[in-house]
């Protein structure tokens, strides 16, 4: 994978009437990467893919492929192919004829068709099955025929819209791996659309998270998980517990945070989302400004306050389950410890997943080693249990980094 952009999407918006399906989306796709567009249903993923393929035109913005304007090119003039959710193959044609179809339409010579079809069948591991009809193939094999049909055209860009969503769970896992291997061997840039975060995390080199037509974050799977910009992204890419923040400010290089559920905390700046460029500095009397008062500060007062104000209305402190520990006795030295009771414990092989019910609050999920889980099991449902964690494992996030800033 290299860093040169093969595709540049610049300030692209798409309106259907007054409805904005995409709003000011800018991103680069690098040559040779698997790029995922991830987001809930209706967030604009397919619209962006259709704009790339040429079946939709952007209402605003620029679209470049290899630094050339793509917008005026008709779909069939773009070196871009699309694989749809339902892998369409012609049922009455042999595998070979299916794969050869697009090249025949282009008037490619017979000998070239033969060699390119053979090459494509080899790439998808269907060598020797060229004379079969689709109904003589398994579901997974039929999908590989559909892939071979587009690979044979040697596109610059291959677009895949929810390519695995029609498969059952086991086949889906196997095909994920195959897609990654296939992409590595052919070297074509893949743009894959999915609403399934685990699929995007497993397959993609980089992921663009979209919501409500807006780009929320573009990052590697690990960055999205460890450094989400806001609570929406944090929650979309994996389980996370969020606590409402009452006030946050910086004092002596540490972030001082208060909330209704947790004790007052001093956190290292590393917990802060990149969307929060800065926090206000606490006043010299040690009195911290509340979120409400920050919101009412005139913008001119300090740049830091202005940026926090525009970045978010509301902040949360968040912690992922793998950072939460559980103990039957009160932990001697933990930054945060909350007393609750044991809910469900689910055995998961190497570890167990424990629900800790905290009075009147949504329960916390902790991932505990099986040795520790046994004691919790023995104590039984409803027994008192302490959930505890290290403050620096938390994240300080705006609820929605794109509110107000776009």
**Binding interface with Mg ion (CB under 5 A):** 46
Contact partner at residue 42 from Mg ion, ligand ADP, none, CB < 5 to 8 Å by partner kind: ligand ADP
Nearer to Mg ion, 50 or 153 (CB): 50
Q: What is the DSSP string of 58-104?
A: -SEEEEEETTEE-TTS-GGGSSEEEE-SS----TTS-HHHHHHHHHH
Instruction: Choose among Mg ion, ligand ADP, none what residue 340 binds, the Cβ cut-off being 5 to 8 Å by kind.
Output: none
Chain centre to alpha carbon of residue 312: 21
Residue with the closest Cβ to Mg ion? 46
Q: CB 260 → ligand ADP: shortest distance, Å? A: 35
Tell me whether residue 382 is exposed, middle or buried, using C-beta atoms within 10 angstroms of its C-beta: 0 to 12, 13 to 18, 19 or more.
Answer: exposed
Residue 67 sits at the vertex; the CA angle it makes with 64 and 73, to the nearest 5 degrees, is: 50
Structure tokens at 20: 């904005």
Question: Least distance to ligand ADP from the beta carbon of 21, Å?
Answer: 3
Residues 6+ apart with CB under 8 A from 374: none
In the list Mg ion, ligand ADP, none, the entry touching 44 (Cβ below 5 to 8 angstroms by class) is ligand ADP
Q: What is the DSSP string of 146-176?
A: HHHHHHTT--SEEEEESTTTTS-HHHHHHHH
98 or 194: CB nearest Mg ion:
194
**In the complex with ligand ADP, which residue's Cβ is closer, 5 or 42?**
42
CB of 75 to ligand ADP, least distance (A): 16
Please name which of 278, 281, 249 lies closest in space to residue 265, comparing C-alpha atoms: 249
Choose among ligand ADP, Mg ion, none what residue 238 binds, the Cβ cut-off being 5 to 8 Å by kind.
none
65 and 80 in contact (C-beta within 8 Å)?
Answer: yes
Q: Which does 398 bind (CB under 5 to 8 A by kind): ligand ADP, Mg ion, none?
A: none
Q: Distance between CA 207 and CA 235 in Å, rounded?
A: 15
Minimum CB separation of residue 160 from Mg ion in Å reads 11
Minimum gap (Å) between residue 45 Cβ and Mg ion: 5
Q: How many angstroms separate the CA atoms of 186 and 203, rounded?
A: 15
Strand pairing report for 34-38 and 189-194:
parallel
User: CB 195 → ligand ADP: shortest distance, Å?
Assistant: 7
- Partner that binds at residue 41, options ligand ADP, Mg ion, none, CB closer than 5 to 8 Å by kind: ligand ADP
Positions touching ligand ADP (CB under 6 A) are 16, 21, 39, 41-47
155 is in the binding site of which of ligand ADP, Mg ion, none (Cβ under 5 to 8 A by kind)? none
- Strands in 34-38's sheet, in edge-to-edge order, are 80-83, 157-161, 189-194, 34-38, 206-211, 214-219
Question: Judging by DSSP bridges, how do beta strands 214-219 and 206-211 pair with one another?
Answer: antiparallel
Q: At what angle do helices 169-186 and 110-123 cross, to 10 degrees?
A: 130
Residue 43 CB, nearest distance to ligand ADP (Å)?
4
CA distance 146 to 99: 8
Minimum CB–partner distance for residue 45 and ligand ADP (Å): 3
Cβ proximity to ligand ADP: between 32 and 39 the closer is 39
Residue 43 touches which of Mg ion, ligand ADP, none (Cβ within 5-8 Å per kind): ligand ADP
Structure tokens at 53: 């393929």
What does 47 bind: ligand ADP, Mg ion, none (CB cut-off 5 to 8 Å by kind)?
Answer: ligand ADP
Residue 402 CB, nearest distance to ligand ADP (Å)? 16
Strand order in the sheet with 60-65: 19-30, 5-16, 60-65, 68-69
DSSP per-residue string spanning 172-221 = HHHHHHHHHHHHHHH--EEEEEES-HHHHHHH-SEEEEEETTEEEEEE-H
Kindly give, in sequence order, each residue whose CB lies less than 8 Å from that of residue 200, ignoring residues fewer than 6 positions away.
Answer: 36, 38, 192, 194, 207, 221
Taking the complex as a whole, the smallest distance from the CB of residue 33 to ligand ADP amounts, in Å, to: 21
Residue 134 contact among Mg ion, ligand ADP, none, beta carbon within 5 to 8 Å by kind = none
């Amino acid at each position: 994978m290299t860093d040169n952009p093969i595709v540049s999407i610049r300030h692209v918006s798409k309106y259907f009437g007054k409805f904005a399906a995409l709003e000011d989306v800018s991103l680069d796709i690098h040559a040779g990467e698997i790029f995922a567009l991830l987001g809930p249903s209706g967030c604009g993923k397919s619209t962006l893919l259709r704009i790339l393929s040429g079946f939709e035109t952007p209402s605003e913005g620029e679209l470049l492929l290899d630094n050339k304007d793509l917008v005026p090119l008709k779909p069939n003039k773009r070196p871009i192919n699309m694989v749809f959710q339902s892998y369409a193959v012609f049922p009455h044609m042999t595998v070979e004829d299916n794969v050869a179809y697009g090249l025949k339409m282009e008037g490619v010579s017979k000998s070239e068709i033969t060699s390119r079809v053979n090459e494509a069948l080899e790439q998808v591991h269907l060598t020797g099955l060229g004379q079969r009809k689709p109904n003589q193939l398994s579901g997974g094999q039929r999908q590989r025929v559909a892939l071979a049909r587009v690979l044979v055209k040697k596109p610059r860009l291959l677009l895949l819209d929810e390519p695995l969503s029609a498969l059952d769970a086991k086949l889906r896992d196997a095909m994920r791996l195959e897609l990654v291997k296939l992409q590595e061997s052919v070297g074509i840039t893949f743009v894959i659309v999915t609403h399934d975060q685990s699929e995007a995390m497993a397959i993609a080199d980089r992921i663009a998270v979209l919501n409500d037509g807006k780009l929320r974050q573009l990052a590697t799977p690990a960055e999205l998980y460890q450094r989400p910009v806001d609570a929406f992204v944090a929650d979309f890419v994996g389980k996370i517990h969020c606590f409402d923040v009452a006030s946050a400010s910086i004092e002596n290089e540490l972030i001082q945070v208060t909330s209704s559920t947790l004790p007052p905390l001093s956190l290292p700046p590393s917990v802060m989302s990149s969307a929060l460029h800065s926090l206000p500095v606490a006043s010299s009397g040690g009195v911290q400004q509340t979120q409400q008062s920050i919101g009412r500060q005139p913008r001119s007062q300090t740049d830091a306050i202005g940026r926090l104000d525009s970045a978010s209305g509301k902040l949360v402190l968040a912690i992922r389950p793998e950072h939460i520990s559980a103990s039957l006795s009160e932990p001697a030295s933990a930054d945060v410890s909350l007393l609750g009771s044991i809910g469900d414990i689910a055995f998961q092989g190497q570890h167990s997943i424990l629900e800790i019910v905290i009075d009147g609050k949504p329960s916390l999920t902790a991932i505990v080693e099986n040795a520790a889980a046994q004691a919790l099991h023995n104590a039984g449902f409803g027994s008192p249990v302490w959930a505890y964690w290290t403050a620096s494992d938390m994240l300080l996030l705006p609820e929605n980094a794109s509110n107000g800033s776009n």
